Structure 1
Amino acid sequence: MCKILSRIEELSKQEGITIGALEKKIGASKGVLSRAIAKGTDIQAKWIESLVENYPMYSTEWLLTGNGPMLKAATQESQVTAQLSTPTAKDRIPEAFRCLDALHFTHELIPLVSQKAAAGFGNADFAITKSDVKEYYVIPKWRRQHVDFMIEVTGDSMQPKYNAGDVVGCTIIHNSGFIQWNRPHVIATREQGLLIKRLMPGTTANSLSAVSENIQYPPFDIPKDEITGIALVIGHVNLE
């Protein structure tokens, strides 16, 4: 079954979508495929059936056994016909990198998305689609950090650490027990949208304290039931 997971990854790359988007497409909860891929564990047969139903252009024999071509014969013929007009993986790479290996970079492209698109990252069915992506970044040092998305900083509450227009890389935290106190996080809230703050224990057991870098903004508590998602900021990109 684990070999099937590697072919599922190939399928998602061929489609130009993330594993999260693929999970959404087949009706699976967030993490069903990504956790199995990360841990090398089995997935239920119903998800394989859903893949076959939703992507009929792919060979079932190839998906199950790895034998034969990935695409069915008719699909391959149509792809040859459309080859001149269909964007390739290399076309999606920033121009400065197009002289380099396209396949290598499709594995490492980090999507920069709008705050509106990222606001739902705490939901179980959250997935980034092509229309959500403003740009892709290639940052080799972030390769092992499992960065899920990047967003632009707004406002001045995190100055001087972050300025408006800086870009931060975010890794979604799926277990609130792994919060790293006093580290900057992106917090998705029901009423205030996305906030970028350092997190500390709240004044009550049912809250977290949001701390700004700018001393003009005093710390404040966020009720835990107002928080829909938390992501760790692992780095940022800025201009002088």
Structure 2
Amino acid sequence: MIVDRILQFIEYKGINKRKFYIETGLSNGFLDKVKDIGASKIEHILNAYPEICTEWLLTGNGDMLLKSHKFGGQLNIKIDSVHEPNTTSYKPENKESIQKQQIPLYNIQAPGGIASLFQDANQDPIEFISIPYLPKCDGAIHVNGDSMHPLLKSGDIVMYKRMNNVIENIFWGEMYLVYLITDDLEEFVMIKWIQKSDKGDDWIKLVSENPQHQPKEVLFTNIKGLALVKVSIRINATY
């Protein structure tokens, strides 16, 4: 079954299901709820993991990985100097056109930084980040704080895709950048798991990975911007 092969790939990658759901954009618990997977979900998986051989995923025939990824090939992270972003199309071995993006890295501490996350503001990025085979992203920021530790730590980079700020469009159980304005008009940008609230449809629950941070129940009307976290980058060396 396709689900079994996906679980085999997850084990090979050394990741957990939650990270798989984040990277593919599939709903939390998806693999535990289905026995077969439709074409649209397959497309999500291949976009997130272009190293997977399509024939192997669909039929079990052949090798798990495409030839170009078999011998220890890894993604190279390149941070370019600030310039006008260019995108070029090319075709990997799975014959799907992938965009090589240059994703703007923003400083949300700068004036107007929050607006750059959720609007088409004119703030200049710090840099542009280029990584092959990424899912479509609108921007990137550095992580601050320890609320998502150990999954994310302060100094990591997350890349995001802005979402329509409509509660019906939320993928429950996924990780989001959340732009929140309190009743006292204080602004916060935080990274949280979003879950349904027991208080009713007008509320959502913001959940941290770090158990020392308690979940927060907030009115959805206080949420002024949402962005789905698609990619995380950790820099382990500082020299």
How high is the TM-score relative to the length of structure 2? Answer: 0.52
| Secondary structure in 1 matching 2:103 | strand
Distance 1:194 1:214, change over 3 A: same
Match runs of 1:139-178 below 5 Å = 139-142=131-134, 145-174=135-164, 175-178=166-169
Aligned-residue offset at 1:132: 2.8
What is the CA distance between 1:107 and its match in structure 2? Answer: 6.3
> Structure 1 residue 233 and structure 2 residue 229: aligned?
yes
**Is contact 1:171–1:232 with CA below 8 Å preserved after alignment?**
yes
* 1:199 pairs with 2:202: no
**Distance in 2 between residues matched to 1:196 and 1:103, nearest whole Å:** 28
- Matching residue within 136, 150, 154 for 2:128: 136
Does the Cα contact within 8 Å between 1:120 and 1:188 map onto a contact in 2?
no
Cα shift at 1:198 = 0.3
CA deviation map 1:99-152 (0-9, x unaligned): xxx7639962100001244522576xx2143x430110002221xx32111011
- The residue correspondences of 1:1-240 to structure 2 (distance < 5 A) are 94=80, 104=88, 108-116=101-109, 117-120=112-115, 126-129=119-122, 131-142=123-134, 145-174=135-164, 175-190=166-181, 191-204=186-199, 205-240=201-236
| Partners of 1:110 and 1:230 in 2: CA distance | 18
Give 2:219's aligned amino acid: P
Residue 44 of structure 1 is matched in structure 2 by none
Residue 15 of structure 2 corresponds to which residue in structure 1? none
TM-score if structure 1 supplies the norm length?
0.52
CA contact (8 A) 1:114 1:132 kept: no
Task: Provide runs of 4+ in structure 1 moved above 6 Å.
Answer: none
Q: Deviations over 1:181-214 (max 9, x none)?
A: 1211000111342010000012322111000000
Distance (whole Å) between structure 2 residues aligned to residue 178 and residue 234 of structure 1: 16
Report the Cα offset of residue 153 of structure 1. 0.3
Structure 2 counterpart of 1:146, one-letter code:
K
C-alpha distance 185-118 of structure 1, shift in aligned 2 (>3 A): farther
Specify the structure having the higher radius of gyration (Cα).
Answer: 1
Q: Which amino acid aligns with 1:214?
A: N
Whether the 8 Å contact between 1:114 and 1:134 is mirrored in structure 2 is yes
Matched-pair contact (CA < 8 Å) for 1:159–1:214: yes
For 1:186 and 1:103, locate their aligned partners in 2 and report how far apart those are by CA, in whole Å: 25
RMSD between aligned residues: 2.4
8 Å CA contact 2:87, 2:100 repeated in 1: yes
C-alpha distance in structure 2 between counterparts of 1:163 and 1:94, whole Å: 23
Unaligned runs of 5+ in 2: 1-78, 90-98
Letter in 2 for 1:94: D
Give 1 or 2: higher helix fraction. Answer: 1
Amino acid paired to 1:187: V
8 Å Cα contact 1:154/1:165 also seen in 2? yes
Instruction: Give the counterpart letter for 1:216 in structure 2.
Output: Q
Identical positions, percent: 26
Q: Secondary structure at the match of 1:177?
A: helix
Alignment partner of 1:164: what SS? Answer: coil
Partner-residue secondary structure (3-state), 2:133: helix
